């Protein structure tokens, strides 16, 4: 045998040995991964014995996204059919594009995401408040806009977003009232659960993206939401001093606790039971808070998992697919952009692409 042949055989032997070693390591890692995740996967399959993403759902989402792309204004904003250029509705529609995997420079609606971001950034003030149309309480819009920026920053790391997001978070922290919640305006005087959930989600998204959020702010928010829960039926009141349990605010209440890190808790379980009992009534009414209520119920049941999700999602999926307009939109008293954005976020929960929708 020649020296060249010996060297080739030696080289091939070394390569084979390295390949076998790599194969064993990958097999070992795979086994560890499978063992660690087996119980989780088995619970998911047994509790959710249904197909989440159907051809009808995919078709509805494609039509809905196409409608939003067509409906987006030259400024990059949404909401003109009801509220004018609105940072909150723009944030909701931007999240709907993100939930399909679109990012600036990536995906068929990447440019739409970029334009949403540009519009929101252009309406961020030095105080931290993000607002355009403030006629219906700027903290609503601020919460949704900050949530969109948090998700986008977490998925892209775009440094342009960080400074605006930090200021937006600081504003939320500084305007929390003595009860632990937030209300329409960036002043720490009053609170309701509807505005509070938007701020909690924005804080959670920012924290997921690596920004600092004071623990005491979250602890006080948890205390406020807990006090809004009805001692009898397990639903949630609109404010500490007024209101009865209603489906939309109760869905927001459960989601508030979950996004604040409370998952296995009697308050959450009682709230979820309330949602199960009241879902059909909410769907039958289809009033102005229909999309709002189901948007938060989608998150509450998804994060709870098990039969909560497997029994709730097929029903709302059917309702939304059946109620979609020929244009691809969903009609809402708050405007078609709002209704469509909310419906798409519900239907795209199974995509599991937005960091905020993960435990």
Question: What is the per-residue pLDDT across 93-134, written as a single tens digit (0 to 9) for each?
Answer: 999 999 999 999 999 999 999 999 999 999 999 999 999 865
- So what's the pLDDT on residue 207? 97
Does residue 5 form part of some domain? no
Exposure letters 153-178 (e unless 16+ CB within 10 A, then b): bbbbeeeebbebbebbbebbbebbbe
CA distances from 181 to 192, 215, 238 (A): 7, 14, 11
CA distances from 303 to 26, 38, 216 (A): 31, 19, 23
Q: Name which of 10-19, 136-145, 306-315, 318-327 the model is least confident about.
A: 10-19
Side-chain half-sphere CA neighbours of 147 within 13 A: 31
Nearest to 291 by CA among 160, 134, 117, 144: 144
- Structure confidence at residue 39 as a pLDDT band (50, 70, 90): very low
Q: Name which of 35-39, 75-79, 230-234, 338-342 the model is least confident about.
A: 35-39
Q: Name which of 45-59, 177-191, 239-253 the model is least confident about.
A: 45-59
**How far apart, in whole angstroms, are the C-alpha atoms of residue 32 and residue 38?**
10
- So what's the pLDDT on residue 137? 83
Mean of the pLDDT values across residues 6-20? 40
Mean of the pLDDT values across residues 58-75? 98
* pLDDT beyond 90 at 159: yes
Does residue 345 form part of some domain? yes
- So what's the pLDDT on residue 283? 67
Does residue 119 form part of some domain? yes
Number of domains in the chain: 1
- Dihedral in degrees, nearest 10, Cα atoms 80, 82, 85, 87: -130
- The predicted-structure confidence for 262-286, as pLDDT tens digits, reads as follows 998 999 999 999 999 988 777 666 6
Contacts of 84 (CB under 8 A, 6+ apart): 132, 133
- So what's the pLDDT on residue 342? 98
Average pLDDT, the chain: 86
Does residue 160 form part of some domain? yes
Side-chain half-sphere CA neighbours of 152 within 13 A: 36
Mean of the pLDDT values across residues 56-83? 93
- The predicted-structure confidence for 344-356, as pLDDT tens digits, reads as follows 999 999 999 999 9
Q: Name which of 89-93, 115-119, 243-247 the model is least confident about.
A: 243-247
Contacts of 18 (CB under 8 A, 6+ apart): none
Residue 135: domain span: 48-357
Does residue 320 form part of some domain? yes
User: CA 105, 107, 111, 113 torsion: positive or negative?
Assistant: negative
Nearest to 353 by CA among 23, 53, 10: 53
**How far apart, in whole angstroms, are the C-alpha atoms of residue 96 and residue 81?**
18
**How far apart, in whole angstroms, are the C-alpha atoms of residue 24 and residue 42?**
26
- Structure confidence at residue 9 as a pLDDT band (50, 70, 90): very low
Does residue 326 form part of some domain? yes
Does residue 332 form part of some domain? yes
- So what's the pLDDT on residue 135? 59
- So what's the pLDDT on residue 44? 40
- The predicted-structure confidence for 184-219, as pLDDT tens digits, reads as follows 999 999 999 999 999 999 999 999 999 999 999 999
Nearest to 102 by CA among 40, 148, 35: 148
Query: Phi then psi for 192, rounded to 5 degrees?
Result: -145, 160
User: What's the CATH code of the domain at 86?
Assistant: 1.50.10.20
The number of angstroms, rounded, from the C-alpha of 41 to the middle of its chain's C-alpha atoms is 22
């Amino acid at each position: 045998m020649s020296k060249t042949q010996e060297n080739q055989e030696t080289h091939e032997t070394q390569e084979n040995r390295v390949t076998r070693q790599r194969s064993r390591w990958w097999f070992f890692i795979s086994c560890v991964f499978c063992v660690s995740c087996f119980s989780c996967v088995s619970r998911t399959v047994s509790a959710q014995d249904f197909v989440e993403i159907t051809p009808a759902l995919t078709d509805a989402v494609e039509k809905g996204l196409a409608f939003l792309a067509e409906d987006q204004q030259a400024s990059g904003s949404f909401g003109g059919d009801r509220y004018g250029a609105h940072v909150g509705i723009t944030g909701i529609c931007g999240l709907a594009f993100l939930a399909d995997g679109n990012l600036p420079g990536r995906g068929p609606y990447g440019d739409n995401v970029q334009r949403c971001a540009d519009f929101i950034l252009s309406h961020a003030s030095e105080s931290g408040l993000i607002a355009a149309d403030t006629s219906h309480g700027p903290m609503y819009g601020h919460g949704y806009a900050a949530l969109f920026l948090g998700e986008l920053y977490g998925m892209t790391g775009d440094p342009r977003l960080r400074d605006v997001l930090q200021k937006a978070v600081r504003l939320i922290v500084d305007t929390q009232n003595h009860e632990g919640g937030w209300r329409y305006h960036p002043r720490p005087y009053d609170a309701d659960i509807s505005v509070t959930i938007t701020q909690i989600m924005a804080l959670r998204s920012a924290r997921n993206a690596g920004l600092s959020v004071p623990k005491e702010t979250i602890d006080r928010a948890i205390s406020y939401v807990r006090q809004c829960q009805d001692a009898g039926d397990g639903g949630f009141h609109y404010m500490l001093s007024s209101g009865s349990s209603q489906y939309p605010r109760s869905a927001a209440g459960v989601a508030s606790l979950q996004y604040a890190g409370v998952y296995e808790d009697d308050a959450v379980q009682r709230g979820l039971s309330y949602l199960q009992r009241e879902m059909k009534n909410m769907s039958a009414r289809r009033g102005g808070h229909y999309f709002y209520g189901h948007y938060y119920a989608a998150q509450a049941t998804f994060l709870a998992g098990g039969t909560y999700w497997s029994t709730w999602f097929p029903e709302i999926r059917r309702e939304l697919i059946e109620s979609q307009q020929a244009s691809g939109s969903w009609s809402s008293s708050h405007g078609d952009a709002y209704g469509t954005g909310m419906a798409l976020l519900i239907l795209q929960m199974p995509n599991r692409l937005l960091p905020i929708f993960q435990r």
